[in-house]
Amino acid sequence: MKRIVFLSLFVLTGLNLKAQEGKTYESLEEAFKIPDSVYSLQISNKDLIKITPDIKKFKNLKYLSISNTQVTELPEEIGSLTNLVDLDLRMNQIKTLPKSIKNLKKLRVLKINNSKITEFPETFGELSGLEYIIISITDLAKLPKSLGKLKNLKSINISTSKLTGLPESVGDLANLEKLELGGNKITVLPESVGKLEKLEELFLIYNQITTLPESVGNLSNLKKLSVGSNQLTKLPESFGNLKKLFVLDLSGNQFTTIPNAVFELSNLSNLDLSGNQLTGISGKIGNLEKLNELNLFGNQLSSLPVSIGNLSNLEQLTIGGNQLAGLPESFGHLTNLKMLYAGKNQLKRLPESFGKLTHLSILNLSENQLETLPDSLGDLIHLNSLDLRNNQLTGLPESVGKLKELFNIDISDNRLKEEEKQKLMNLLPDCDWRFE
């Protein structure tokens, strides 16, 4: 009987412990009554200006969130929280972290958002258990050299801050898989970045980068790369070595031609070259046979190469905002295409092969100079949405009546007479027609 009672008490004690670990305290006053039993603490008080040194009493604390306060600094006693796993600092006035932060060897996740923080102490590199750094909307301008000591770091996300560069030691982060540095003031990356052999995702959008280091070609496991909205005019010759890359964003740069190295990326699935200064496209674009999405919006293209028809896996194509007067007959080979945006060009006609795009569901041909459309338009039997605004159309082919899945047509700002409008509505009475 005694053994049964003992086991029951043991089980109950275990359940109580789990219950305590699952509870988040939101009142410091309540938490200080049982500091040894506090595992999760959330402090949110817009009038709070100081964190008491007594916070060291929470020796079992694993999760600490300090948000929406007027706190400007953390006490050195924060280093006594040696069981801390997750530290979340949001909407504060904190400018730096105390040197004692080095004692938090179990810390895995550090989150700092909407903060005044400008730098980290060199002791930052002694957070040996750190795996995730998530920082956004801060005044952080530089990272300590000791960053490279964080051997367990898997992901760094420092966005919308004031970083101008990275320390050379970043190349020592042997386990880093994801590096996100969008919305900073970075002008150049250190050569050591090429040592990040496990890196799979690199995001550098909205910086001031003019060139990428040659060593970037050593990132053999890189799968996603975004360097949109920078000042790039070329890519390093080694770029073609990124054979595992399947997402590449080069939008919003200053490319006048597509670098040849891009055509060597045989596994590329998504390519964004919008918002550059491209005047032409090499026939080598046809080498990228695995492309699923291609965005060429907002360039200065007057034509597309015949080899565009080799992209038989393409499902989304954006060629709007250029100076295209026509499309090659090979365009009809894009038989898996589901979405085509070709608005804001100078298209006067479509190739007869256009009707072979039988998987097309969304078609935008607005703001062109189209006067007629081919009869093969009626073969686009899966078309759902058709935008023909701002053209020179006087009518549509009767074959449009076969488009039974079409539910939306915008043909406003064309040259249709009233009888033609009525004729079209009779052909597709269940479709939502927009003439004005």
DSSP characters over 125-152: GG-TT--EEEEESS------GGGGG-TT
Q: Looking at 44-53, 261-270, 303-312, 313-322, which range is the least confident one? A: 44-53
CB 100 within 8 A of CB 73: no
pLDDT in tens, 32-89: 999 999 999 999 988 899 999 999 999 999 999 999 999 999 999 999 999 999 999 9
Instruction: Describe the chain by its helix, strand, coil percentages, rounded to 5.
Output: 25, 15, 55
The amino acid occupying position 296 is L
Domains and CATH numbers, the chain: 19-104 (3.80.10.10), 118-245 (3.80.10.10)
Q: Give the burial class of 129: count Cβ atoms within 10 A of its Cβ; 0-12 exposed, 13-18 middle, 19 or more buried.
A: middle
Confidence band of 5 (pLDDT split at 50, 70, 90): very low
> What is the overall mean pLDDT for the chain?
94
Nearest to 106 by CA among 122, 130, 123, 124: 130
Answer yes or no: is pLDDT of 9 > 60: no
Strand partners, 135: 112, 158
> What whole-number distance in Å separates Cα of residue 405 and Cα of residue 360?
11
Question: What pLDDT is attached to residue 6?
Answer: 42
Tell me the CA distances in angstroms from 365 to 49, 61, 150, one per residue in order.
58, 60, 52
Question: What pLDDT is attached to residue 235?
Answer: 97
Question: What pLDDT is attached to residue 258?
Answer: 96
> Residues 343-354, buried b or exposed e (16+ Cβ, 10 A)?
bbbebebbbebb
pLDDT in tens, 175-220: 999 999 999 999 999 999 999 999 999 999 999 999 999 999 999 9
The amino acid occupying position 381 is I
Q: Which helix (H) or strand (E) holds 155?
A: strand 155-159
Say what the pTM is. 0.92
CB 422 within 8 A of CB 399: no
Q: Residue 9 in 3-state DSSP?
A: helix
How many CB atoms within 10 Å of residue 8?
A: 10
The one-character DSSP state at 364 is E
pLDDT in tens, 371-417: 999 999 999 999 999 999 999 999 999 999 999 999 999 999 999 99
> What whole-number distance in Å separates Cα of residue 55 and Cα of residue 65?
12
Kindly state the average pLDDT of the residues 351-366: 96
> What whole-number distance in Å separates Cα of residue 57 and Cα of residue 416?
79
